[in-house]
């Protein structure tokens, strides 16, 4: 960790200042490659066991690295996790658009991408991540599921290979928050550039609500940033400013923390009662090697990951951060208005 944010009353440590930096790439590789299998625990028990035994591709595990929607009333944790992605995709309103091109920046191992592919069978869904191993897993998983209308690319979503106005809709779940403050204008300019007029950008993400008031609160926030490897998110209103400055119009801005809160509690429980004991076992000579493939290849990383799982709940409880839905639309073309940047 390098930088200390000065805006907070208590210092918050952020992991990197540019997502294009070597520092960011190595942290993301450590998190999603060496430690990536820790996410196998984020599913219903049956899917966890199947993913451990059969691997990501053939397990039926949701393979989605985000909160679940309304877990209290969902049929299962798997169903709640899938529902979050379904909601984002439905908000694109592309069901009746033949041959639509949908972009998912920061698609992880492609779980939400395949949800989108099934909801929009007439569309092509392009997922993107900076982490090469994630794209290999995503590709193998989609192939094993017999899903053909997806592509996965290793690329930085701040500078995509898409032509201007090539994309009909963008959905991003807990991925744009990886963009540091200094690169957020560039991010929204790129989303605006690639969207066709009338196309929507749907974002589900954590946002900052207020600054930390003391060392304890700063530690909760720092735990989440360090353990889940992203910079301090902006507020919902700052996000709106970035997006509208890039020419997008706001359709919806809503705090939905209450919808994901039960799943946040579940994450904290998984951290405390499953990952923590496994991390202790991983330190025992002989057992460590056996647990390495489960994401415990770096003891330091696993420790930070578990701290993030536990502290994210305190971030919600203290009102330091919240979970937000934003829907933006690229306005219909106005004669004389520049549409590429």
Convert residues 186-225 into a mask of x (bound to ligand SAM by CB under 6 A) and - (unbound). Answer: ----------------------------------------
Q: Is 137 in the site for ligand SAM (CB under 6 A)?
A: no
H-type helices in 30-131, by residue range? Answer: 45-54, 77-90, 111-119
Query: Which position among 117, 120, 150, 158 is part of the footprint of ligand SAM (CB under 6 A)?
Result: 158
> In the set 102, 112, 117, 142, which binds ligand SAM (CB under 6 A)?
112
A 10 A CB-CB count for 251 gives 13
What lies within 8 Å, CB to CB, of 274 at 6+ separation is 41
Q: Which of 96, 102, 149, 154 is nearest to 128 (CA)?
A: 154
Q: Which of 59, 129, 137, 208 binds ligand SAM (CB under 6 A)?
A: 129
Stretch that binds ligand SAM, among 41-49, 70-78, 107-115, 272-280 (CB under 6 A): 107-115
* Separation between Cα atoms, residue 123 and residue 105, nearest integer Å: 16
Distance CA 38, CA 31 (A): 9
Q: Which stretch binds ligand SAM (CB under 6 A): 58-66, 142-150, 314-322, 329-337?
A: 58-66
Given a contact cutoff of 8 angstroms between Cβ atoms, the answer to whether 196 and 168 are in contact is yes
How many of the other CB atoms lie within 10 Å of CB of 28? Answer: 21
Among 27, 38, 48, 65, binds ligand SAM (CB under 6 A): 65
Min CB(69)–ligand SAM separation in Å: 12
Could you tell me which stretch among 153-161, 208-216, 276-284, 313-321 binds ligand SAM (CB under 6 A)? Answer: 153-161
Q: Tell me if 226 sits within 8 A of 291, measured CB to CB.
A: no
Exposure of 22 by Cβ count < 10 A (0-12 exposed, 13-18 middle, 19+ buried)?
exposed
Backbone angles phi, psi at 183, to 5 degrees: -115, 5
Distance CA 319, CA 334 (A): 41
Q: Does 107 bind ligand SAM (CB under 6 A)?
A: yes
Closer residue to ligand SAM, CB minimum distance, 10 or 166: 166
CA distances from 330 to 161, 239, 249 (A): 19, 15, 6
In the chain, the DSSP E strands lie at 3-5, 12-14, 101-105, 124-129, 150-154, 167-173, 195-208, 249-255, 321-329
- Stretch binding ligand SAM (CB under 6 A), from 126-134, 161-169, 194-202, 316-324: 126-134
* Residue 19 near ligand SAM by CB under 6 A: yes
- Contact call for residue 268 and ligand SAM (CB under 6 A): no
User: Judged by CB under 6 A, which stretch of 106-114, 142-150, 258-266, 320-328 contacts ligand SAM?
Assistant: 106-114
Residues in the interface with ligand SAM (CB under 6 A) total 24
Residue of 323, 231, 235, 218 whose CA lies nearest to 8? 218
Judged by CB under 6 A, the residue of 35, 36, 68, 111 near ligand SAM is 111
CB-nearer residue toward ligand SAM: 175 or 222? 175
Find the part of the chain contacting ligand SAM (CB under 6 A) among 123-131, 188-196, 233-241, 309-317. Answer: 123-131
Residue 175 binds to ligand SAM (criterion: CB under 6 A): yes
- Any contact of residue 178 with ligand SAM (CB under 6 A)? yes
Backbone angles phi, psi at 128, to 5 degrees: -140, 140
Q: Which of 44, 137, 149, 156 forms a contact with ligand SAM (CB under 6 A)?
A: 156
Q: Are 77 and 134 in contact (CB under 8 A)?
A: no
Given candidates 12, 14, 27, 28, which one binds ligand SAM under the rule CB under 6 A?
28
Stretch that binds ligand SAM, among 60-68, 95-103, 211-219, 291-299 (CB under 6 A): 60-68
- 3-state SS, residue 160: coil
Sites of contact with ligand SAM (CB under 6 A): 19, 28, 32, 64-66, 105-108, 111-112, 128-131, 134, 156-158, 173-175, 178
């Amino acid at each position: 960790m390098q930088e200390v944010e000065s805006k907070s009353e208590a210092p918050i440590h952020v992991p990197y200042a540019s997502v294009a930096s070597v520092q960011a790439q190595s942290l993301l590789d450590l998190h999603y490659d060496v430690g990536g299998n820790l996410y196998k625990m984020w599913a219903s028990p049956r899917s966890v066991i199947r993913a451990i035994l059969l691997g990501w591709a053939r397990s039926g595990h949701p393979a989605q690295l985000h909160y679940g929607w309304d877990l209290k009333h969902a049929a299962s944790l798997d169903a709640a996790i899938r529902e979050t992605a379904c909601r984002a995709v439905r908000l694109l309103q592309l069901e009746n658009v033949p041959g639509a091109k949908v972009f998912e920046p920061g698609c992880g191992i492609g779980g939400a991408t395949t949800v989108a592919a099934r909801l929009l069978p007439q569309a092509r869904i392009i997922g993107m991540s900076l982490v090469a191993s994630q794209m290999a897993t995503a590709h193998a998983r989609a192939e094993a599921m017999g899903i053909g209308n997806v592509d996965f690319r290793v690329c930085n979503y701040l500078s995509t290979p898409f032509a201007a106005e090539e994309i009909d809709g963008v959905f991003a779940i807990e991925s744009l928050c990886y963009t540091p403050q200094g690169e957020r204008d560039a991010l929204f300019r790129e989303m605006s550039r690639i969207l066709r007029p009338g196309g929507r950008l749907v974002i589900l993400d954590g946002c900052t609500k207020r600054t930390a008031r003391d060392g304890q609160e700063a530690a909760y926030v720092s735990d989440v940033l360090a353990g889940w490897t992203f910079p301090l998110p902006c507020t919902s209103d700052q996000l709106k400013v970035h997006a509208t400055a890039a020419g997008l119009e706001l359709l919806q801005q809503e705090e939905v923390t209450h919808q994901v809160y039960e799943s946040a509690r579940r994450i904290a429980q998984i951290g405390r009662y499953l990952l923590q004991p496994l991390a202790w076992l991983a330190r025992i000579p002989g057992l460590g090697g056996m647990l390495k493939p489960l994401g415990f290849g770096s003891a330091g990383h696993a420790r930070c990951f578990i701290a993030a799982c536990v502290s994210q709940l305190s971030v919600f409880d203290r009102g330091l951060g919240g979970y937000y839905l934003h829907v933006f639309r690229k306005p219909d073309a106005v004669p004389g208005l520049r549409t590429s940047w």
